[in-house]
Amino acid sequence: MAFKIESAEFAASFADVAAYKNRAAALCRVPQICFVGRSNAGKSSLINMLAGKKIARTSREPGRTRLINFFSLDGGRVFLADIPGYGYAKVSKAERGGWGELIEGYLLTADAPKHIFLLADARIDPAASDKKMIDFMYSNRLPFTVLAAKADKLSGAALSRSVQKIATAFCLGRDDIIAVSSVTNLGRAALLEKIGSVVERSEA
Ligand SMILES: Nc1nc2c(ncn2[C@@H]2O[C@H](COP(=O)(O)OP(=O)(O)OP(=O)(O)O)[C@@H](O)[C@H]2O)c(=O)[nH]1
Ligand SMILES: [Mg+2]
């Protein structure tokens, strides 16, 4: 059943895994759905698109999101987790290491998250860092769906080629990939359907 978002608001943010782990037991009572991808792929924008309002900070400059940010839907029925992007070359090595730790530490904390959306920019060739993330999710048995993001930037035929390319690169079927756009709302219904099934399963 599709999830119908009645309300959405900022809930909490964490600068490091230790801070998150301190609260994880309480937070994990609520199913979490996490958005991962390279910096600038459109994760925060997609959360805003789903919420129907601007709750997550977005930026033209990659590397905007530096914390784990939780947004609560319907008064705590589900959390959307916005996490920093990976693969942004300009940040210092130390900081990049820290981000890797934050992302991996969060994803591997027991019981979180219930589903991961991996955003791959539809205009850019699939990256080695995305492949690494997919391998990481497979090997840790984390359930995920790949999204072809910023689909509004491509024409129908080009988008179709891009989806095929992403599917081939990640050894997925093309029907497994959902094309999304935060500008046109493309894919919103499919994402809400997926979120609905995750929430239903965790409430059963
Ligand atoms: N045309 C178009 N632009 C988008 C879309 N989604 C995001 N953008 C733009 O892409 C840029 C990055 O968006 P963000 O949502 O901040 O990306 P992010 O993945 O959260 O980036 P980090 O927090 O740095 O990892 C912004 O300038 C957005 O306006 C989309 O669906 N279509
Ligand atoms: Mg962001």
Burial tier of 60 (Cβ tally within 10 Å: 0-12, 13-18, 19+): exposed
- Domain limits, the chain: 8-203
Mean pLDDT by 10 residues, the chain (204 residues): 92 88 84 94 97 93 80 95 79 52 85 92 93 92 97 97 97 97 98 96 87
Residue 174: how many CB atoms within 10 A of its CB?
Answer: 13
Cα separations (Å) of 126 from 31, 90, 101, 134, 196? Answer: 29, 19, 22, 11, 28
Report how far ligand 1's centroid is from the alpha carbon of 101 (Å): 23
Which strand (E) or helix (H) includes residue 158? helix 156-169
| Confidence at residue 12, expressed as pLDDT on a 0 to 100 scale | 93
| Confidence at residue 13, expressed as pLDDT on a 0 to 100 scale | 92
The correct CATH number of 8-203 out of 1.10.10.10, 3.30.70.380, 3.90.550.10, 3.40.50.300 is 3.40.50.300
Nearest Cα residue to atom 26 of ligand 1: 60
> Residue 112 in contact with residue 63, Cβ under 8 Å?
no
What is the number of the ligand closest to the CA of 123? 1
Give 67-108 pLDDT, tens digit per residue.
Answer: 889 999 999 999 999 988 887 655 545 455 445 778 888 899
**What is the spatial distance between Cα 104 and Cα 148, in angstroms, rounded to a whole number?**
22
Pairing of the two strands 178-179 and 78-82: unpaired
Residues whose beta carbon lies within 6 Å of some atom of ligand 1: 37, 39-45, 58-60, 62-65, 84-85, 149-150, 152-153, 181-183
Report how far ligand 1's centroid is from the alpha carbon of 142 (Å): 24
| Confidence at residue 130, expressed as pLDDT on a 0 to 100 scale | 92
Enumerate the H helices of 5-112 as residue ranges.
17-27, 43-51, 93-108
